[in-house]
């Protein structure tokens, strides 16, 4: 008989805790939502976000893996930033956009990108371990899920 050695893939802290976080946020926002031109007319192509809701203004939150390859990181950031900077959100002073992430290795190329994201005025960077702040914001400002079509 031949026995195959199976390698057990352990789940990361993010993979374990983030779905629980999304579930707790789901009373305030739509989760894993595909934003289209129907909702934000200035979009050219649909964008997927982890969370979106409204309190008269859009509130978005999305996780970004800052430890991935620089090309993948740039793609994910560009996609989310395109949505966050869309004219509908940019013109609304009460719209709120969050990026959830973790600091990458200081010696990596991505660390400089991470530092730049943290300094942006157009979005709020939230460390993964502080993600409950986002739900507190949703609760305190009356954010609720978008009515689905």
pLDDT digit string, tens, across residues 104-129: 999 999 999 999 999 999 999 999 99
Listed in sequence order, the DSSP H helices in 1-149 are: 13-25, 70-84, 87-90, 110-119, 132-141
pLDDT higher than threshold 80 for residue 3: no
- pLDDT level of residue 13 (50, 70, 90 thresholds): confident
104 contacts 127 by C-beta, under 8 angstroms: no
pLDDT for 64-97, tens place per residue?
999 999 999 999 999 999 999 898 888 899 999 9
């Amino acid at each position: 008989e031949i026995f195959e050695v199976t390698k057990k893939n352990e789940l990361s802290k993010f993979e374990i805790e983030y779905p629980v976080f999304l579930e707790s946020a789901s009373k305030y926002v739509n989760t894993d939502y595909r934003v289209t031109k129907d909702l934000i007319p200035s979009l050219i192509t649909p964008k997927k976000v982890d969370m979106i809701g409204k309190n008269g203004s859009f509130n978005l939150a999305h996780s970004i893996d800052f430890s991935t390859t620089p090309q993948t990181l740039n793609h994910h950031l560009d996609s989310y930033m395109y949505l966050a900077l869309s004219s509908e959100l940019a013109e609304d002073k009460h719209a709120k956009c969050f990026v959830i992430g973790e600091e990458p290795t200081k010696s990596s190329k991505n660390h400089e990108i991470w530092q730049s994201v943290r300094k942006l005025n157009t979005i709020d960077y939230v460390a993964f371990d502080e993600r409950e702040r986002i739900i507190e914001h949703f609760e305190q400002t009356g954010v609720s899920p978008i009515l689905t079509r």
